[in-house]
Amino acid sequence: MRDFAYARPASLAEAASAFGDGGEAAFIAGGHTLLPAIKSRLRMPDTLVDLSGVPGLSGVTRDGDMLWIGAMTTHATVATNALVASAIPGLAGMANLIGDPQVRNRGTLGGVVANNDPAADYPAALMALDAVVETDRGSHRADAYFQGMFSTALDDGEIVSRVGFRVPLASAYAKFRNPASRYAVVGVFVARFADAVRVGVTGAGPGVFRWAEAEAALTADFSVSAAAKVVLSPDDLNTDIHAGAEYRAALAVVMLKQAVSQAS
């Protein structure tokens, strides 16, 4: 690991200033992805900007039909917070499936959302829950925010401040975990609203996506039997050392049925 400057700003404005002071910079939240990348020299920032000292970036609040969670809120907090559990139990359950206790107590919502790993859990929740990503420069709807593998709508230096999740009538998340990393081989988040059902899928393809066929079928009939009839094409899915595209397509249906059963 080579030398770098370390900044611990006390405000979003200071964080943005430190990021733009020159050279390559990187924001650090929980650090589970960034620090291994730095150690292996896949990332070599000149400046590391630590967001842990910025006030107002953690916590959970509800405003009408939106549940807002600060970017520096840990997975463990989301998993155990009473407001999350009462408003969106599927989101609390999903957070409890992330990694292990060490990861959940250090990793943050904002870090995952900014990184956009194609097998991460939160992106599926954001897509299914019609989420809004707020930053120091504006806001992004989830449908337009995720733009493929490790790619988002964030501009260089833009900082995620909080995420708003639309509160559904029912929700649940089911995933088949890689036994080593505990990332999703396939993860499916289902959210039922008064007007429609939204389904987010992670791990299966090169990036998170909404499953239109599942949404249409479950909007018409929110039942496990309806979910069992849905088919996911393997054409654009991943094939790697963990699973082939056809296996992931079949596994997505299994996870969809589990999520609908839990939400019901």
- Kindly state the average pLDDT of the residues 3-28: 91
Here the tokens at position 160 are 């995620």
Q: What is the mean pLDDT of the segment spanning 108-121?
A: 96
Whether the per-residue pLDDT at 33 is higher than 90: the answer is no
**Number of other CB atoms surrounding residue 82 within 10 Å:** 9
Q: Quote the pLDDT of residue 141.
A: 98
pLDDT score recorded for residue 146: 97
What percentage of the chain reaches a pLDDT higher than 70?
100
Q: What is the pLDDT of residues 157-171, one digit of tens each?
A: 999 999 999 999 999
What's the CATH fold of domain 5-53?
A: 3.30.43
Q: Calculate the alpha carbon distances from 36 to 40, 133, 227, 245 in Å.
A: 6, 26, 39, 28
Report whether pLDDT(17) > 90. yes
Tell me what the pLDDT averaged over the chain comes to.
Answer: 95
| Cβ-based neighbours of 90, under 8 Å, separated by 6 or more | 125, 168, 170, 171, 172, 173, 189, 190, 191, 259, 262, 263
- The pTM assigned to this predicted structure is 0.95
pLDDT confidence bin for 243, thresholds 50/70/90: very high
pLDDT per residue as tens digits for the range 47-71: 999 999 999 999 999 999 999 999 9
Which CATH code, of 1.10.1270.20, 3.50.50.60, 2.60.40.420, 3.30.390.50, is assigned to 170-263? 3.30.390.50
Q: Which CATH number does the domain 60-166 belong to among 1.10.1370.30, 3.30.465.10, 3.40.50.2300, 3.30.950.10?
A: 3.30.465.10
pLDDT of residue 37: 82
- Bridge-based pairing of strands 184-192 and 170-177 is antiparallel
Which range of 1-5, 38-42, 151-155 scores highest in mean pLDDT? It is 151-155
Is 138 a residue whose pLDDT tops 70?
yes
Task: Please report, for the chain, the start and end positions of each structural domain, with discontinuous segments joined by +.
Answer: 5-53, 60-166, 170-263
CA distance 208 to 51: 26
Q: In this predicted structure, which of 26-40, 101-115, 247-261 has the lowest mean pLDDT? A: 26-40
pLDDT at 32: 80
Q: Please tell me the predicted confidence (pLDDT) of residue 189.
A: 98
Q: What is the pLDDT of residue 58?
A: 96
Q: What are phi and psi of 60, to 5 degrees?
A: -130, 130
DSSP state of 156: T
